[in-house]
Chains A and B, each alone.
Chain A
């Protein structure tokens, strides 16, 4: 049964500029994997691919599109490879057909088109395969050694030993090469890494065993060597199998427009966004994102800056007024003049670049492995000294080095964390790296954004300060139904609640409907003029509230309120019970303060914060020694997330964009934040248990080695058993833990 991969549906609307850009051969080249006289192979990233039916449908592409020889889907990565005839317009045709099928390809430039990583993957497959091959053969050839050696007669014992040596060579020189490289790099920088004791163990085993065979005395341990390397590589393959990679594949560029209409040499033409320069005049349609700081040249601009400041009220801008990058145009088409180049754009600065985040790859085990290595080396030195520093003592000292199994060290964390990531992903919480599970577990202060994070961004509630009479409800509803604005939606529900239930949808005719962004809407309903909008616009007076006007008379006033997400207050309560500090940093006004009082103290709620202020407040907490996690929904939180230890993003409906975030939580699952954190703490505790188990094995091995009772048989048994125990415990127990902790889950 193939599980549906975790995808987010992306609605793609193509503009005329984009179609024009697609005809540019330079643009097309970014998607070409291979090209020659007879054929061209394209690779498309299609985020909507998520199941078997998608594979079936898309691989039938040749029957729908002319010139296509074959189409192949990679379900895991969401890629479509198409081979077609190299004719002009083929690329555009393909995109058009894919759009029509509902599988719009993502045409944004990305570094990840799959090719570089597949080479690396193949190499790892081969290393693991070779290691497995050698392991099997060496174990077989080690049997005479286990059985005492004399059973086959003198000459043969040697034959088998040499066979073991020969078959161990590929393991040592080929399969272990990645371990050696990583250990050497860490050693050079004097940084502890779990690969150092492992590399040490492998080298000691190899050198010891080779001298045994060549000199003809002592016992070789090639079986342990090959077993160790094989188990390690298998463990690493499991860790590498990423369950969440596509969710995080999205980067900043996805939010920028693909292309812009600019005026060059007096003509209007489409250019790729990267070519936008200072002083260019460019057009922006409704829904378009302002890519660089600009000023308005022509048209009426109504900008929604919630991406940048979190403020949901749109702002009106006139000609000559400056517009900051990140605003989204909600009015009609306008003309702007760019005030900076794209690379210097405020957005690029805020989303990308800037200070390096503190390293996220540090795992617990790296720290422990430094200690582990030192302890083993000292125990080994001690054994050598204790037993009189002769040949026998050397044997025992080396036995210590050999039997010290770093298996658990290398396997327990990746396996447990890998399983934990998977368990969380199944429940709507996507963690980028294993180390972040540790960070989430240690979090003792959570900072929330308000709009879109704690509150819904597309739904609102509200209350009447003046209820309309029954007779006016119908025409008002007729008007309101025309709009998709969240306030309109909530008004619709409020009005519908008020009317008597036998009525069906209004049949009044609606004419001359007009929506004025930032102000309101109006229409003629059954001959009467109906208007709904802000108080300022309707009556000219200052004040809040949405006024409903029928025939020039105000018949009702409605006050919309932000709607808190279901269950989020309980989650805040649970977090507080767990000892986690809470605070709120919002770019919006403080109108919803009362909703949250009682859960958050007044000092910990700050409103009208710019991104820089948010980042500063978080830094203050970090410097005070807290482990801070920041929960936000948009680009305006990206700067703040960089300053925290852990960035948690709650994706906007428009698409999964998670700037600088380490964790993505689906909006419906945010109320389980306290559960996710607790689970991470248990998972981390699991790792410690694994280490304890491994410690017991190691102590047993040490005792045996110290007293001279070690033999290849003992080693060959001890090592796989300890590895297997760790494997079962970390993967199995974590899985059981997830089931018990989360209940049935999804």
Chain B
């Protein structure tokens, strides 16, 4: 059962990486406009 400790530690680390990534993208303003990027993907590359 000791393996659980290591599993928890590793998974927590991975989860924290994602959390940090989320916070970084929120602070960068990637969540400010959710509508327009969805529309832009259908345009041709200029």
Contact = CB atoms under 8 A, between A and B. Distances in A.
Interface in B1-46: 1, 4-5, 8, 12, 15, 18-19, 22-23, 26-27, 29, 31-36, 38-40, 42-43, 46
Nearest to A160: B8
Interface residues of A, number: 27
A79 to B, nearest CB: 9
Central interface residue in A60, A76, A122, A156, by most chain B CB within 10 Å:
A122
A118 B35 contact: no
21 contacts: A2-B39, A52-B39, A55-B36, A56-B43, A59-B43, A73-B36, A74-B33, A75-B33, A76-B33, A121-B32, A122-B26, A125-B31, A126-B22, A126-B23, A126-B27, A129-B23, A133-B22, A137-B12, A152-B4, A159-B5, A163-B8
Nearest to A130: B19
Contacts of A137: 12, 15
A320 B7 CA distance: 89
Given A118-B29, A126-B23, 18 more contacts: A2-B38, A52-B39, A55-B40, A63-B46, A73-B36, A74-B36, A75-B39, A76-B33, A76-B34, A77-B33, A118-B32, A122-B27, A129-B19, A133-B15, A152-B4, A153-B1, A156-B4, A163-B8
A159 B5 CA distance: 9
A125 B27 CA distance: 9
A152 B42 CA distance: 52
Interface in A324-362: none
Given A126-B26, A129-B22, A129-B23, A75 B36 contact: yes
Contacts of A156: 1, 4
Interface of B: 1, 4-5, 8, 12, 15, 18-19, 22-23, 26-27, 29, 31-36, 38-40, 42-43, 46
Central interface residue in B1, B12, B35, B46, by most chain A CB within 10 Å:
B35
Nearest to A63: B46
Contacts of A126: 22-23, 26-27
Contacts of A59: 40, 43
Contact of B42 (A52, A74, A75): A52
B39 A55 contact: yes
Interface in A89-126: 118, 121-122, 125-126
A122 B31 contact: yes
Contacts, number: 64
Contacts of A60: 46
Contacts of B42: 52
Central interface residue in B1, B22, B32, by most chain A CB within 10 Å:
B32
Nearest first, the 10 A-B pairs at minimum CB distance are A75-B36, A76-B35, A125-B26, A125-B31, A52-B39, A74-B33, A75-B35, A126-B26, A129-B22, A133-B19
Nearest to A151: B1
Contacts of B8: 159, 163
A122 B29 contact: yes
A122 B33 CA distance: 11
Interface string A154-173: 00100100010000000000
Interface string A121-157: 1100110011001000100000000000000110010
Contacts of B1: 152-153, 156
Nearest to B39: A52
A122 B4 contact: no
B29 to A, nearest CB: 7
Contacts of B22: 126, 129, 133
Contacts of A122: 26-27, 29, 31-32
Interface in A53-82: 55-56, 59-60, 63, 72-77
Nearest to A2: B39
A126 B38 CA distance: 21
Nearest to A163: B8
Interface in A23-78: 52, 55-56, 59-60, 63, 72-77
